[in-house]
Amino acid sequence: MTTRRQLLSAIGMIGGATALYQAMTTLGHAAETQFTGPPNLSGARTGTSVIVLGAGLAGMVAAYELTKAGYQVRILEYQPRAGGRNWSLYGGDTYTELGGATQHVAFAPGNYLNPGPWRIPHHHRTLLHYCKTFGVQLEPFIQFNHNAYVQNADAFGGKPQRFHEVAADFEGNVAELLGKAIDQKALDSDLTAEDRDRLKVALREWGVLDENMRYVKGLRSSEHRGYDRPPGGGVNGAPTPSDPFDFTDVLKSGVWENMAFFMSMEMQTTMFQPVGGMGMIGKAFARQVQPLITHNAKVSKIFQDKTGVVVTYSDTGTGAVSEAKADFCVCTIPLGVLNQIDINVTPEKQAAIAAVPYSNAVKIGLEMKRRFWEEDDYIYGGHSFTSQDIGLISYPNNHMFQDGPAVILGAFSRSGLSANRLAGMTPEQRIEAALAQGSVFHPDRYRKEFSNGASVAWSRVPWTLGCCARWNEDTRKAHYQTLVAIDDRIVLAGEHASYVGCWMEGALTSSLDAITRLHRRALEA
Amino acid sequence: MQNPSPRVLLMFAMAIAAFAVPALADEPGGLTKASDPVTGEEVYTQVCQACHMANARGGQGAAVIPALAGNPRLAIAAYPIAMVVNGRGAMPGFTDILNPTQIANVVGYVRTHFGNAYTKPVTPQEVAKIEGAK
């Protein structure tokens, strides 16, 4: 029997690298996205209308592409702002969360907090396509900074250490131990003699071991972990090596979790951010479809029958109730909200809408009077991780080396207890918690340089009641296909209707798939 | 590598275990080390009020987060226990971060505070029973 590998090898020999890549893509390897280009729908029947619920990215891309296809499109949006979870808070903005707490953001001009999405993987090609098409200027997002800190209450007495020191020591020790296992013949039954030799070479190189296969203090290990005195010029140009950490502390630090974090496809560099804040993407989409949007529209009922769809909504300012009619409906309302709206879809679809809980997440922006992390600690972008509730602090990726105030992301908390702890606080208490916890990385300066802050707890965001859909294997199996299927005249779209959950790419790919199917359905009607 | 032995697999697993963890969501890599809440009040403050608010009155935006204050549905303990265990709609179940004792404590707390006066104690056994029925 020919294995897949043999087949690919043969294709590679016959057709060269391009053929090999194409074959691998066809067989499901190598490809990182399902996006092959915009849908280019065309030929809508004259006069056919679609109502889109929600002016987030899913709703706006649906409106944009359906309008191009010839449909009459209208969008209803609960908020006075388009963009949905694609959102940046700037100085002068006001934000009122559920429960009534209102924050007046006081950041300096040009500074911002991205409460929702904040980084774009290089392989989220749908999003990158529309950014280019709509003229959104992108800049690098410094995802991986070896010189930022890792901090864990259980290791090094709670003192933060540079990522490059701890990671180098983790790899060096693992390499040395595996080398010992080979020398103690523990791998003889698993590896040929030749492969054992190859692996030893790899371990020596990768783990920066000495000629005796030991991870020891020396210029070699210091090339990875850093020097006591770095190399320089002239009389004192010679570097002096640093002492590796105690391996027990390295293990306790959980640094492998931070290392693994950067290995997942979604987190691999290169990553991007829009110049001026993530909200620039929502604004660019809105420029394409703004005349179609009715803002401040709170949907209370979605009713379909043989003749079309009727959406009942009220104006959030005046309370005036209206109806909007269309032939079809693309509904991008988050499931937790949709679950409370009267909608006549099948019982199975209702069950699917009700089956998916939403995650919580908390982001806190702290404006500092100067870039002390750059000026004093030589950290330029990237994240310092902590075992405390704030999860991490992240340094701004733009305007480096400049004077004046800059905004640090003072918390991105997503795990259950820690996010809920921060979310349950008042905005003032959140700032205090972020200052207290973040000070572990930059003691003396963190509070001293602090100017003002803002926070968003997603469990209290009035238009989502949560951050994003939390599927698991059981709910996927029981409900996903039902959720994404067209229900007569209604189709759902959004990150919740994708396998790229929590990402803008999921919202877009879901929406493009939904409208492609809806277009086919409309032509068959 | 040919047919690695269980011992070698274990060794590699120890070295690289975490690297296989899927991270489909955009989440930080940090760990959580703050001490866990114990009493009903602690659990309420550190978990429930993230949505239901410090005064237990919930909130209303595009949709509603129900008030727990003065809520007659709390009369029968099984109802709020099932909510915390299973969740509903946007609300997740909390058995991944709360054990039966913590859930019993917080349900007992909510049933006797915020204008509610259902004094019959809630036991971890009641919670475990409903968890078992999941």
DSSP code string of A343-355 = E---HHHHHHHHT
* Residue A370 binned pLDDT confidence (cut-offs 50, 70, 90): very high
Which ipTM did the prediction report?
0.89
DSSP A405-432: -EEEEEEEE-SHHHHHHHHTS-HHHHHH
Q: What is the pLDDT of residue A16?
A: 45
CATH architecture of A89-144+269-279+359-460: Alpha-Beta Complex (3.90)
Residues of A in contact with B8 (CB under 8 A): 181, 186-187, 190
Per domain, the residue ranges of chain A are 1-28, 49-80+295-357+471-524, 89-144+269-279+359-460, 164-248
Interchain proximity A419–B36, CB inside 8 Å: no
Interchain proximity A257–B96, CB inside 8 Å: no
* Residue A18 binned pLDDT confidence (cut-offs 50, 70, 90): very low
Assigned token pair, A285: 């989409």
CATH T-level topology, domain A164-248: de novo design (two linked rop proteins) (1.20.1440)
Class of domain A49-80+295-357+471-524 as given by CATH: alpha beta
Residue A359 φ then ψ, to 5°: -80, 165
Interchain proximity B26–A117, CB inside 8 Å: yes
Q: Measured between CA atoms, how close is A222 to chain B, in angstroms?
A: 22
pTM over 0.95: no
Q: Which of A504, A511, A510 is nearest to A121 (CA)?
A: A504
Least confident of A20-29, A87-96, A262-271, A446-455: A20-29
- Name the residue in chain A with its Cα closest to that of B2: A190
Angle at alpha carbon of residue A95, lines to A300 and A423, rounded to 5°: 90
Nearest to B28 among A298, A392, A461 (CB): A392
Q: How far apart are the first and last CA of chain B?
A: 43
Nearest to B92 among A189, A417, A470 (CB): A470
Residue A235 has pLDDT above 50, yes or no: yes
CATH 1.10.760.10 fits B39-132, yes or no: yes
CB A373 within 8 A of CB A401: no
Q: Note the residue count of chain A.
A: 525
Rounded Cα distance between B112 and A69, Å, is 59
Selected for mutation to probe chain A from B26, B94, B95 (highest A CB count within 10 Å) is: B26
Q: What is the pLDDT of residue A317?
A: 97
Nearest to A267 among B23, B51, B63 (CB): B23
Rounded Cα distance between A124 and A502, Å, is 13
Q: Which of A245, A238, A170 is nearest to A208 (CA)?
A: A170
Give the Cβ contact number of residue A231 at 10 Å.
13
Rounded Cα distance between B75 and B68, Å, is 11
Q: How many Å is the maximal CA-CA distance in chain B?
A: 67
Q: Which of A224, A209, A219, A223 is nearest to A174 (CA)?
A: A209
Rounded Cα distance between A22 and A5, Å, is 14
CB A244 within 8 A of CB A215: yes
Q: What is the pLDDT of residue A369?
A: 98
Q: Measured between CA atoms, how close is A224 to chain B, in angstroms?
A: 19
Residue showing tokens 């299973």: B86
Q: Measured between CA atoms, how close is A380 to chain B, in angstroms?
A: 18
Q: How far apart are the first and last CA of chain A?
A: 48
Q: What is the pLDDT of residue B5?
A: 52
Residue A29 has pLDDT above 60, yes or no: no
Provide Rg for chain A, Cα atoms.
Answer: 27
Rounded Cα distance between B83 and B92, Å, is 9
Contacts of A16 (CB under 8 A, 6+ apart): none
Residues of B in contact with A473 (CB under 8 A): none
Residue B19 φ then ψ, to 5°: -70, -15
Assigned token pair, A347: 């019982």
Residue showing tokens 């709703």: A59
Interchain proximity A391–B28, CB inside 8 Å: yes
B54 half-sphere exposure, CB direction, 13 A CA radius:
10
Rounded Cα distance between A173 and A255, Å, is 13
Residue A8 has pLDDT above 50, yes or no: no
Q: Is B61 an interface residue toward A (CB < 8 Å)?
A: yes
Nearest to B63 among A117, A336, A361 (CB): A336
Q: Which of A510, A511, A56, A73 is nearest to A283 (CA)?
A: A56
Contacts of A484 (CB under 8 A, 6+ apart): A491, A492, A497, A510, A513, A514
**β-strands A149-151, A382-386 pairing:** parallel
Q: What is the pLDDT of residue A32?
A: 66
Q: What is the pLDDT of residue B73?
A: 97
Q: What is the pLDDT of residue B134?
A: 73
Q: Is B6 an interface residue toward A (CB < 8 Å)?
A: no
Residues of B in contact with A195 (CB under 8 A): 1
Interchain proximity B63–A340, CB inside 8 Å: yes
Q: Measured between CA atoms, how close is B15 to chain A, in angstroms?
A: 7
Q: Which of A90, A95, A144, A87 is nearest to A507 (CA)?
A: A87
In chain B, which stretches have pLDDT less than 70? Answer: 1-34
Rounded Cα distance between A302 and A313, Å, is 9
